A = this chain, B = another copy of it.
């Protein structure tokens, strides 16, 4: 199996969103390469113990975005076309969540130092995960 997916049911982030993001990241980092087959809707739903509709919705959105492509009767695969944003587009798309995060952090009383620390922690965790994936890719 080429990709490790984890979801948290307690989060307010919808499950289909968590799946979507993880597939995007896997493709970006190369954990999933062009032409790789992804698990079937039923298989993934069973593995994650979620509603198949939820997985189907994720795949649907990824297909519409051009990240995946369905080949009838064969399964779903990583598409050739990669999602690529211009620099300006990247910044635009990240601005709102950045604002929301910093705003929230300051209002609840975190200091700039603590805010930086939180980001570093998160990035560290992600880098570790990524290395883990590379080694058994």
> Chain A interface residue count: which class?
35 or more
Picked from B101, B108, B123, the residue with its CB within 8 Å of the CB of A84 is B108
Could you tell me which residues of chain A, from 79 to 97, have a CB within 8 Å of some CB in chain B? Answer: 82-86, 88-91, 93-94, 96-97
Picked from B12, B83, B86, B97, the residue with its CB within 8 Å of the CB of A105 is B97
CA distance A96 to B98 in the complex (A): 12
Picked from B10, B85, B106, B118, the residue with its CB within 8 Å of the CB of A98 is B118
Picked from B14, B72, B98, the residue with its CB within 8 Å of the CB of A12 is B72
8 A-B residue pairings within 8 Å (CB atoms): A9-B74, A11-B96, A13-B99, A25-B103, A84-B109, A90-B109, A100-B101, A102-B123
